[in-house]
Chains A and B, each alone.
Chain A
């Protein structure tokens, strides 16, 4: 009981003490004429850091009371629309209530309030009694100077001589980002700086330079204007340069520089090397094209599969032994390459207008020595083709791209595109090829010496107009394009073709050819496209499109026989003109709701091909091919956005491919005596029915991921090349339509951390089954190719000093030929690769990549192991780590062999290309923005 009493007393005492420390602060908000300001907001802040302690609201007479405040010094702040926030320090007097009496608030000048706060939406800074303001939204014409900008700011006067007065006082100093500008004469900055570059104009009163220097406050204050630059203008740009020299005369030089601000982007890039690096990396491409890289303009509107053409430009393509060798760009990194490239890009971008222009030059010289072994399967036997060739290609390419986009207003957009390419190439080849029966009996042999030089010019221009309507989702678009492709080539074909009797093995009469082949191709095309979308309800849209295109080709091929006094050979020469006209009309419905997007529609395609063929322009014997096809194909797509990063999607479309002109010509081409081709005017377009479905999932917390998909393709009227092979192993081919070729595939990938951020593992598998048909010597052959792949990836990132990335892939193919099961093959490919990064002392790093490939094929008796090891040590230099010195070793074991193998149709091919092997290189890199040591890979940002 006593205890209870005591505690009650204590509580009571505590309450009394508490009551004494708490107090009320009272006052009245009035304006300068002592008129009450009703409902003024009153806040109590701590003077140290302006932290909000409590707040209240005045009554209709402007009276307020802040109750229950702890005793202490406060900052009392009042706010009332149209008035300068009032601020005063309050130290409460003794007693429970402190009355501050009338607190007078000053109105903000109307001009400042209306112009700065209301119109420009610029924040006002209040500092005691004075105001600084940031003005970023005062519109001045482009090219205006800061002086023009200041003229527009309320409270500023700019005199005839350029001197500035702010709030009545002369401005003594103008600083840029707080720093003196060119010695501090205010006029230099304001007259020279572009208003575009300015984000904020801040006016404040500061101590004089003298008092700053001496540290003695002389009491004098001067007006200073600070010009805060836009962030974008602060960044000059970025760039890097790299130079490396190595053994075997290996050289690698590259450099790029970028400059950009919020409106313009400028980039130059250049590189030259003989280490088979012919393209730009993804980062290089971004640096070069800048924001224009992702501006793709679809000028042919439509959905659910389109029309593709298997005709190349008709230029630079030469057919040799059934292999199509594409002169432009072909070759990749095979063999030995010397590459020189360079370009300039300029982008200009505002919300309303976007302009992009670039020029890019690329020269590549390629030397390829290759051995091709090919096994062709026939009904009763098989034969082998062994060829060796030395090729040299030089390709010079100039490319210009222009794009202009004008958002005429909020509803209308116009885009104009223009591209031009000039390509000059020359090619020479020494080829020797032998065809052997299965018993290794030589049946024929060809020795060729070929050469070609070609010039092509491609120009294209498009205009695209898009219109939106006030009704959401309603839209209209129209486009028109013109494409011109001109190609001229002059080819030399010299060959000695020898044949050997199948019974005796003795040589038969050889066939010698020495031809000059002069080609002139002219192609032009006009296309136009319309699209219209009409919303039917909030979730359903009706979409329609129409495409029309007319393509005209004119090809003049003159073949001269050098062996017979350069006489024109009519049987090989050709003149043809043809016109392909296509119309495509489609219509469908689209539905979307909460991430479920479904669309379904049909498109009808009509194609009209009409061609005239003769051996010469003046020849009276003109053959005509006229074909008209109409095909209707459906298209369906389904996408679903599920909870927690899960997505489900499926699509089906019918794609139509028109037969190539070459395949339609009913003419026999004897220019390669071992491989004679013939066209088929009855070819129908191919329709590929393609379907796929997939699911993906990623857990951003556990980093577990899964994705899987299945795909299926069924071909109707696929164009296949039926072969007739005679006893001398001369192949004659003729294209025909076959239905039933199909492909089924599936892919799965699962990844998860073994230990989060230290070790990740993933597994993938894909299974592909395909079936293809051809006629071999009038017997139908079905090739079944069953391909199984497994792979695993391991990422070890135990520390900042050591990382390892490894993967292993196994692939097994089982190829079966229905006409000759003894030729069935099993192909094994295995790859093991790893990358290791180690951080050494003194900003040095070590990097090793190892790549081990195993190729096996029972029938060929092939068992090839290729281990490739690359090593590098590099050191970052300087405080800012802007330079790097690197010593690298490439293919340390000298094992690099460009090897590929694959089966298709009725043959299996294995190619080996001689390519770059071991070299050492010492290189130096300078990067304006610093070199980053690549210890760990980025995981997506």
Chain B
């Protein structure tokens, strides 16, 4: 009986979601956190002592945080910062945010990105390429949604990416470069927690076309293959120079 009631309860939940399904559009707010200690631990040119020292010094510090927003409809999405400047918690000191916008058009199968990397601003335009996902046997609750785990690999900077997607929001979209799962991706985890992008708020609402529009962009136009080449060269050069490549690419992932 108990089970049946529970079933009924979940059934209603699903139904109420499904009734909203006519307009599967809205915004997801993410918090993007990069752990300096975990990043340093992966730098090949540091000794174990240097890594341990960094862990002791900075292990309890909060990471580098950014607030991001994904605006989506079933056909389009736009992912960028919330707010026009980076600032301290008290708001008294501000800094410039590097250019970073990812716009996707699923209908046309195109992606346009504005990104600052290796000291230059680029406009990257290419056709969409869905990551190759593996769907795994784990469930987790993120911002009130039960998410399933999926995994992929990014060969450009050689990292493991874990995505948690909510199949109760059946839009195949997500933050950053990730999409192509049966639901919206609510969490991304790069390289075992070096960078974690977690949804904090999900709003299903009508999206204005303006919210999906690209800002005015200035930069060198390249395609994704050229982007990958630049990143690879930057990582190789930085590692050789005993520098953390993170300091040259934003957002780094």
B119 at the interface (CB under 8 A from A): yes
The answer, among A235, A533, A643, for a CB contact under 8 Å with B92, is A533
- Bound-state CA distance A238–B48 (Å) is 9
A775 at the interface (CB under 8 A from B): no
The answer, among A35, A291, A701, for a CB contact under 8 Å with B56, is A291
**Given A85-B148, A468-B90, A929-B49: A39 and B14 interface contact (C-beta under 8 Å):** yes
Give residues 729-763 of A contacting B (CB, 8 Å).
756-757
User: What 0/1 readout, one digit per residue, does chain B (27-51) give for beta carbons within 8 Å of chain A?
Assistant: 0000000000000100101111110
The answer, among B134, B139, B141, for a CB contact under 8 Å with A49, is B134
The answer, among B60, B84, B140, for a CB contact under 8 Å with A124, is B140
**Given A643-B96, A644-B119, A929-B48: A117 and B84 interface contact (C-beta under 8 Å):** no
User: What 0/1 readout, one digit per residue, does chain A (801-843) give for beta carbons within 8 Å of chain B?
Assistant: 0000000000000000000000000000000000000000000
The answer, among A77, A82, A124, A265, for a CB contact under 8 Å with B10, is A82
- Bound-state CA distance A650–B35 (Å) is 32
Chain B residue, CB-CB nearest to A928: B49
Give residues 48-100 of B contacting A (CB, 8 Å).
48-50, 52-53, 55-61, 84-87, 90-97
A700 and B119 within 8 A (CB): yes
Contacting residues, chain A, for B180 (C-beta < 8 A): 52
Contacting residues, chain B, for A232 (C-beta < 8 A): 59
The answer, among A82, A260, A593, A701, for a CB contact under 8 Å with B7, is A82
**Given A79-B167, A81-B146, A117-B141: A642 and B96 interface contact (C-beta under 8 Å):** yes
A51 and B133 within 8 A (CB): yes
B237 at the interface (CB under 8 A from A): yes
Nearest chain A CB to B156 CB, angstrom units: 16
- Bound-state CA distance A701–B61 (Å) is 29
A938 at the interface (CB under 8 A from B): yes
User: What 0/1 readout, one digit per residue, does chain A (270-303) give for beta carbons within 8 Å of chain B?
Assistant: 0000000000000100110011011000000000
B161 at the interface (CB under 8 A from A): no
B22 at the interface (CB under 8 A from A): no
B23 at the interface (CB under 8 A from A): no
B182 at the interface (CB under 8 A from A): yes
- Bound-state CA distance A287–B55 (Å) is 11
**Given A85-B139, A592-B94, A593-B94: A51 and B58 interface contact (C-beta under 8 Å):** no
B104 at the interface (CB under 8 A from A): no
**Given A126-B139, A473-B91, A594-B84: A700 and B118 interface contact (C-beta under 8 Å):** yes
A590 at the interface (CB under 8 A from B): yes
B244 and A940 within 8 A (CB): yes
B18 and A39 within 8 A (CB): yes
A293 and B57 within 8 A (CB): yes
A879 at the interface (CB under 8 A from B): no
A645 at the interface (CB under 8 A from B): yes
Chain B residue, CB-CB nearest to A760: B241
**Given A595-B95, A936-B242: A644 and B120 interface contact (C-beta under 8 Å):** yes
- Bound-state CA distance A596–B95 (Å) is 7
A43 and B49 within 8 A (CB): no
Chain B residue, CB-CB nearest to A123: B140
The answer, among A121, A535, A927, A941, for a CB contact under 8 Å with B141, is A121
Contacting residues, chain A, for B148 (C-beta < 8 A): 79, 85
Contacting residues, chain B, for A702 (C-beta < 8 A): 119
Q: In this complex, which of B57, B118, B134, B148 has the most chain A Cβ atoms within 10 angstroms of its Cβ?
A: B57
A391 at the interface (CB under 8 A from B): no
A125 at the interface (CB under 8 A from B): yes
A101 at the interface (CB under 8 A from B): no
User: What 0/1 readout, one digit per residue, does chain A (35-52) give for beta carbons within 8 Å of chain B?
Assistant: 101110101010001111
B7 and A35 within 8 A (CB): yes
Give residues 138-163 of B contacting A (CB, 8 Å).
138-142, 146, 148-150
User: What 0/1 readout, one digit per residue, does chain B (166-205) give for beta carbons within 8 Å of chain A?
Assistant: 0110100000000011110000000000000000000000
- Bound-state CA distance A475–B88 (Å) is 13
Contacting residues, chain A, for B40 (C-beta < 8 A): 941
B136 at the interface (CB under 8 A from A): yes
B234 at the interface (CB under 8 A from A): yes
Contacting residues, chain B, for A32 (C-beta < 8 A): 3
A700 and B247 within 8 A (CB): yes
B243 and A121 within 8 A (CB): no
Contacting residues, chain B, for A37 (C-beta < 8 A): 11, 14
Contacting residues, chain A, for B182 (C-beta < 8 A): 41, 43, 55, 57, 79
Contacting residues, chain A, for B43 (C-beta < 8 A): 941
Contacting residues, chain B, for A703 (C-beta < 8 A): 237, 241
A592 and B6 within 8 A (CB): no
A939 at the interface (CB under 8 A from B): yes
B121 at the interface (CB under 8 A from A): yes
Chain A residue, CB-CB nearest to B118: A701
- Bound-state CA distance A757–B150 (Å) is 38
- Bound-state CA distance A258–B170 (Å) is 51
A57 and B170 within 8 A (CB): yes
Chain A residue, CB-CB nearest to B9: A82
The answer, among A121, A475, A941, for a CB contact under 8 Å with B244, is A941
B interface, over-half SS: mixed
B26 at the interface (CB under 8 A from A): no
Contacting residues, chain A, for B49 (C-beta < 8 A): 238, 240, 927, 929-930, 932
B243 and A51 within 8 A (CB): no
Q: In this complex, which of A235, A595, A701 has the most chain B Cβ atoms within 10 angstroms of its Cβ?
A: A701
Nearest chain A CB to B103 CB, angstrom units: 21
B116 at the interface (CB under 8 A from A): yes
User: What 0/1 readout, one digit per residue, does chain B (112-128) give for beta carbons within 8 Å of chain A?
Assistant: 00001011110000000
User: What 0/1 readout, one digit per residue, does chain A (223-243) give for beta carbons within 8 Å of chain B?
Assistant: 000000000100101101000
Nearest chain A CB to B44 CB, angstrom units: 11
Nearest chain A CB to B59 CB, angstrom units: 7
B13 at the interface (CB under 8 A from A): yes
- Bound-state CA distance A107–B5 (Å) is 11
- Bound-state CA distance A930–B96 (Å) is 40
Chain B residue, CB-CB nearest to A753: B241
A50 and B85 within 8 A (CB): no
Contacting residues, chain A, for B181 (C-beta < 8 A): 52, 55
Contacting residues, chain A, for B92 (C-beta < 8 A): 473, 533, 541, 590, 592
B90 and A643 within 8 A (CB): no
Nearest chain A CB to B157 CB, angstrom units: 15
A110 and B6 within 8 A (CB): yes
B56 and A258 within 8 A (CB): yes
B136 and A940 within 8 A (CB): no
Q: In this complex, which of B3, B13, B48, B135 has the most chain A Cβ atoms within 10 angstroms of its Cβ?
A: B135
Contacting residues, chain A, for B87 (C-beta < 8 A): 592
A937 at the interface (CB under 8 A from B): yes
A221 at the interface (CB under 8 A from B): no
- Bound-state CA distance A238–B119 (Å) is 37
B129 at the interface (CB under 8 A from A): no
- Bound-state CA distance A85–B183 (Å) is 15
- Bound-state CA distance A592–B93 (Å) is 6
Nearest chain A CB to B211 CB, angstrom units: 21
A33 at the interface (CB under 8 A from B): yes
The answer, among B120, B137, B139, for a CB contact under 8 Å with A127, is B137
A262 and B140 within 8 A (CB): no
- Bound-state CA distance A644–B45 (Å) is 26
The 6 closest A-B pairs by CB, nearest first: A700-B248, A595-B96, A701-B118, A82-B10, A939-B243, A41-B167
New A-B pairs, 20, CB < 8 Å, besides A123-B140, A590-B92: A35-B7, A38-B11, A45-B134, A49-B134, A52-B133, A82-B9, A126-B139, A260-B59, A262-B60, A265-B56, A290-B56, A291-B56, A291-B61, A592-B85, A592-B91, A592-B94, A597-B94, A756-B237, A757-B237, A930-B48
* A–B Cβ pairs within 8 angstroms, 17 of them: A39-B21, A43-B135, A55-B182, A81-B146, A82-B6, A85-B148, A127-B137, A235-B55, A262-B60, A283-B53, A468-B90, A595-B95, A644-B120, A756-B237, A932-B47, A936-B45, A940-B244
Chain B residues near A (Cβ < 8 Å): 2-4, 6-7, 9-11, 13-15, 17-18, 21, 40, 43, 45-50, 52-53, 55-61, 84-87, 90-97, 116, 118-121, 132-142, 146, 148-150, 167-168, 170, 180-183, 230, 234, 237-238, 240-244, 247-249
